[in-house]
Every structure is written in C-alpha cells, then in structure tokens.
Amino acid sequence: MTTSRPRIKTYDRIVEQSLALFNEHGERNITTNHIASHLGISPGNLYYHFRNKEEIVYQIFLRYHRFITERLAVPQDRSMNVGDLVNYLDTAFEAMWRFRFMFYDLPGLMARNPQLQADYHQFVNSELQTILESHFREFIRLGLLKMELEDIAPVSVNIWLVVKFWFAFEQTARPKAPITEASGHRGVRQVLALLKPYVTPEFLPAFNALQHRHAAE
Amino acid sequence: MTTSRPRIKTYDRIVEQSLALFNEHGERNITTNHIASHLGISPGNLYYHFRNKEEIVYQIFLRYHRFITERLAVPQDRSMNVGDLVNYLDTAFEAMWRFRFMFYDLPGLMARNPQLQADYHQFVNSELQTILESHFREFIRLGLLKMELEDIAPVSVNIWLVVKFWFAFEQTARPKAPITEASGHRGVRQVLALLKPYVTPEFLPAFNALQHRHAAE
C-alpha cells in the first residue's frame, strides 16, 4: 500500500490542478503540457497517469457527478425540511461554480469527448431528472412549495437549463467580461426567480434569506 | 436598375439556401463550396457576393434581427391586447425554429465571427431586453399578467435564456436525436411554463389555447 501512495497523490493533484486551470482559462486553451508544467512534473509523468486530456476531463466529470449525487441525496434518517431546500439550491450554485469550465461550452466539450457525452447524458436524463422531481414532490408535500404536479417536470427542466447554460449565457451577453463568482451569484438569482412564484408563506423567510445571500454585489 | 436585378436575386438565394443548409446540417459542417454546389453556381460567383461564410452568417443574423424587431414592435395605432401576447410567444417559437442553426452552438458561432458577436451582444443587451421588459409592463398594465415589477427583469432573462439555449439543451440531453420541429414545440412549452404562474384568469383561456397548440405530438 505504501508504494502506491505517491502515485495516488500525483493522480489527484493532476485532476485538481487541471480543474483549476480549466476554470480559469477554459478547457480548450489548456494542454496536457500546460498541466504538467503547472504541476512541475514531466509530460511523461502525466502520461503515466492519463493517456490524454479527455481522460482528465472525464475524471473531473466523475467528481462533479459524485458532488451532485452526494449533496442532493434524500436524507435516510429524517424527513426533509426548509434547510434541505436551501442546501440544494446552494448545491446548484456550488456545482456551477466549482466545475464552471464544463458549462462554458458544454456542447463543444461533449463533441470532443464521446465517453463524457454518453455518461453525462445518462446522468442528467435518468438520475438527475428523477432526483430533482422527487425533491420537488417532497417539498410540495412539506408545504414549502405550492405547485401542480404537472408543473414539476417543466419547472425542473427550466432550472436545470438555467444552471447548465448560465455561464454560456453570460459569455455571449458580455463577451469581454471574465466569468467571476458574481456571475455564479447572478445565475442562482435566476434559479430563485424560477422558484419564487411557487414559494409558500411558510418558506418565504428562508427563501428571502437565500436571495439576500446571493444579492448583487 | 434592371441590370442589378439578377445580382440581387443570387445574393438573396445564397442567403436563403445557406440558412436552409445550416439549419439542416449545422453551420460548422457547411462550406461555401457546399452552398455554391447546392445552388448550382460556381464558387467564383458566390465569392463575387460574399468574401466568406462569416459574411453569409452575418446577413442571416441581420434577417433574424429584422424578424424579431418587426414582430415584437409595439403597435402604434392601438393599445395592446391578448392577441399580441399570443403573437409574441409565437414569434419566440418561429424565431427559434427558422434560425435554429444559430442556437445549436451559439458560443462557438460567436467565437468564429467577431462582428456577429459585437452586434448580437448590442442587440440582446440593449434592444431586446428593453423590448421584452416594456412588453411585460404593458401586459401587466392590461391585467393579462400579474407580477411584481422587480420580477420582470429576472423572468425576461430566463425566457431569453431558455429560447437561446433550448436546442443546445436538447442536443446535450439527446445527443443522437436530430433537431425537429417537435424540439421547437418543447422549447415553447418550457417558455410557457415560465409564464404560467403569472397568468391572470382573464388571459387563461388564450394561454391554454396556446399551450394546446404546442402540445406534445
């Protein structure tokens, strides 16, 4: 076990530093040579762990997947409450922000990475859609949101669409401006605007606090 | 005047047929040679009218711009009514569908065409945002929609975001499926879902008829 330790560490460092570089410069502008040089390792050492950049991107996707599914999991030992809805909305923001390079140009990223495309597709269409809709039903049952059941699917699709394309929207709307944390906060405000008509008086104080937390800087 | 006539006709045919080819195959997959061959003209004849593909794309953008601004114009000779709101929503669908190639990968298209990027940016951020928000205020004044004034801006941004990225969303969600008119109808249903919580009883019959018109095939 001891001998494999440095290998695991380098592997994780490559994934983490690649994510940071992709977020800052866009995945398209970063090569495996940039990543190796940034980490102070040889390109050969990087290729020992990853055959190409797409494999690194795919590992980042797996972390994104784990982040979302862990954070959006339904609690097993208690019923859900207002705090859970707030946490889920914060998760949307954090997932967007931590893994933001994925959302700069998702169709382009997918086109260059067929394995990512297949798994992403599977994740969003089966897992994520199911998770979002069951959460909605639970929050309606708890009286935090009030909406007709037939509206759950279109509203959760709209939420997902805004989360997914927010940074691309900002980039086409403000081509010269860099993507900052403020862009992420604007994105969450757009998601909150989608939910606002369905918020019940019981949830309103927590909802307003959430809006306030993401208010315009 | 008579001598310039055939020139104008070829010019327009190039723009129209390019739009059709881009919509069907994606702009990235169509070259000026494809366009010339499709029209049965020589590449030299095409280059007489357009220096490159970007110039054709830009002319299509100008038509898109004209289509939107003409169709969304505030009537000068009468006050607005339910029919106008229905027409505006239909315009969103028609603009998406007629010019759909622009929305397959908008960030990529912009990156390859700086003039388009600058003008599109100007159009959306100044003109379109102003038009959408003044329409919202008018429909609220007429009692067709009921919403707080502070919600107009985020809701109109969400509408624009859904319209703009719907086809890209469908392509990442169903990578194997072609973009069909049914995709456009699904997009309009998503826009209607955004408006639904704000529809007043007075507007509900017309709104339901509109939902029905775009119902799932």
Same domain, A90 and A194: yes
Same domain, A117 and A159: yes
pLDDT in tens, A56-78: 999 999 999 999 999 988 888 88
- Whole-number average pLDDT of chain B: 87
Same domain, A110 and A176: yes
Same domain, A23 and A85: no
Q: Residue A206, CB half-sphere, CA atoms under 13 Å: how many?
A: 18
Cβ–Cβ gap A161/B161 under 8 Å: yes
Could you say which of A121, A155, A175 has the minimum Cβ distance to residue B117?
A175
List the one residue out of B147, B123, B152 whose CA is nearest residue B135. Answer: B152
Instruction: Looking at the complex, report in whole angstroms how far the Cα of residue A8 sits from the nearest Cα belonging to chain B.
Output: 32
Q: Which domain holds residue B36?
A: 1-51
Same domain, A77 and A150: yes
Same domain, B128 and B196: yes
Same domain, B63 and B160: yes
Interface residues on A facing B, Cβ-Cβ cutoff 8 A: 104-108, 110, 117-118, 120-121, 124-125, 151, 154-155, 157-158, 161-162, 164-166, 168-169, 171-175, 189-190, 193-194, 196-198
- Residue B6 confidence (pLDDT): 58
Q: Which residue is closest to B150 within chain A, CA to CA?
A: A193
SS3 content of chain A, % helix, strand, coil (to 5): 80, 0, 20
- Residue B40 confidence (pLDDT): 96
List the one residue out of A130, A173, A172, A126 whose CA is nearest residue A153. Answer: A130
Same domain, A81 and A136: yes
Same domain, B32 and B109: no
Would you place residue B39 in the very low, low, confident or very high pLDDT band (cuts 50, 70, 90)? very high
CATH code assigned at B36:
1.10.10.60
Number of domains in chain B: 2
Q: Which residue is closest to B160 within chain A, CA to CA?
A: A169
pLDDT in tens, B106-121: 878 888 898 998 898 8
Indicate the helix (H) or strand (E) that contains A192.
helix A181-195
Same domain, A147 and A211: yes
- Residue B202 confidence (pLDDT): 86
Residues β-bridged to residue A199: A145
- Residue B124 confidence (pLDDT): 83
pLDDT in tens, A155-197: 999 998 998 888 888 887 776 777 788 888 888 889 999 999 9
Same domain, B11 and B115: no
Contacts of B129 in chain A (CB under 8 A): none
CB pairs under 8 A between A and B: 101
What is this model's ipTM?
0.81
- Whole-number average pLDDT of chain A: 87
CA dihedral B160, B162, B164, B166 (to 10 degrees): -160
Would you place residue B5 in the very low, low, confident or very high pLDDT band (cuts 50, 70, 90)? low
Same domain, A120 and A84: yes
Could you say which of B117, B121, B154 has the minimum Cβ distance to residue A189?
B154
- Which whole number is the average pLDDT over A112-129? 87
Would you place residue A7 in the very low, low, confident or very high pLDDT band (cuts 50, 70, 90)? low
CATH code assigned at A195:
1.10.357.10
Most confident by average pLDDT, A123-127, A148-152, A206-210, B107-111: A148-152
Cβ–Cβ gap A106/B168 under 8 Å: yes
pLDDT in tens, B64-98: 999 999 998 888 888 888 788 878 878 877 888 89
**pTM confidence score:** 0.83
pLDDT in tens, A24-43: 999 999 999 999 999 999 99
- Which whole number is the average pLDDT over B157-166? 89
